[in-house]
Amino acid sequence: MFQGAYGVTEKMPANDALDERVAELLINGFTVLPSGMDPGFIESLKATLDRAYKKQVAEIGSEEDLARINDADIVRCVLSYEPDFLQVATSEVLLEFATRTLGGEFILLMQNGLINRSDKENFQAKWHRDLNYQHWTASKPLAINALFCIDEFTTDNGATFVLPGTQNVAAFPTEAFTERFEHQSSVPAGSFLILNAMLFHRAGINTSGRLRRAVNHVVGLPFMAQQIDIPSALERAGIEPPKDARLRKYLNYDWAPSRDAAEWRRKRLVK
């Protein structure tokens, strides 16, 4: 039972369940966020993700070509191949969570589908931050990664391991510390596993005999660049830009660099 506090002049808000999950993210570095999406829609995403991956394999030549660059079983910018994943990326609960953790201005830096096959070597099973190669800390999150679980994440199928609190420490911890404090998160299908993008984490090993599918979103402050130019990718896919001003910003239609000074000014005249 909470026994109160004294000497406290600042306190995190606790207006609803989402605030509690924000507190978990800020302190522990991770939380689980239910999406509220229809179970039938979530189930349909399995075949949709597999279809998008086959398209990308055909584009590059073969899975062997992808394996050579450690990119096998990854579906890059999947929302530009299958519009259902645009619906996932713009989930209202994800956008609201991002607003509460990052503030009013943020963009979708990347969206990558992940296919974790049983008993197959997985490059993502190595410890890493989603902001790779960064060894410094910030007082507030600069980015979050929201891993949408299409299949349930379990200990048998390689659910994600995290190292709580490491978003606040510049260097990777010792091996003994890692083995002692790593935490594996079981997550229901249809939920987001949300991490501070500076939290060290890794995929587990899938021994279930079945696929484990997910799609990861990295959402960050606008001074960071997208991995793939999402507006251009959507244009090539024949998908119209959203009319909603918030979604235009989120997908980087408004934050992308302008070609010249005149274009920069015209964008602002339209607003």
Could you read off the pLDDT of 108-157 as tens digits, one per residue? 999 999 999 997 777 788 999 999 889 999 999 999 999 999 999 999 99
Q: What is the mean pLDDT of residues 76-94?
A: 97
d(CA 260, CA 198): 34
d(CA 248, CA 161): 33
d(CA 17, CA 40): 25
Provide the residue type at 50 as one letter.
D
Exposed / middle / buried, residue 186 (Cβ in 10 Å: 0-12, 13-18, 19+): middle
What are the pLDDT digits (tens) for 205-238?
999 999 999 999 999 999 999 999 999 999 999 9
Q: Which of 46, 122, 56, 124 is nearest to 88 (CA)?
A: 46
Strand ranges of the sheet holding 107-116, from the earlier edge strand across to the other edge: 30-34, 191-196, 143-149, 212-220, 107-116, 74-76
Q: What is the mean pLDDT of residues 253-262?
A: 84
**Per DSSP, which regions of 18-117 are E strands?**
30-34, 74-76, 107-116
266: helix, coil or strand? helix
Instruction: Specify the pLDDT at position 120.
Output: 78
Q: Kind and range of the H or E element at 94?
A: helix 92-102
271 pLDDT exceeds 70?
Answer: no
Instruction: Report the percent of the chain where pLDDT is more than 70.
Output: 100
d(CA 33, CA 98): 12
Which residues, including other chains, have CB under 8 Å from residue 37's CB and lie 6 or more apart?
A: 88, 91, 190
**Per DSSP, which regions of the chain are E strands?**
30-34, 74-76, 107-116, 143-149, 161-162, 183-184, 191-196, 201-202, 212-220
Query: What is the topology classification, in CATH, of domain 17-270?
Result: Jelly Rolls (2.60.120)
Q: What is the mean pLDDT of residues 8-27?
A: 94
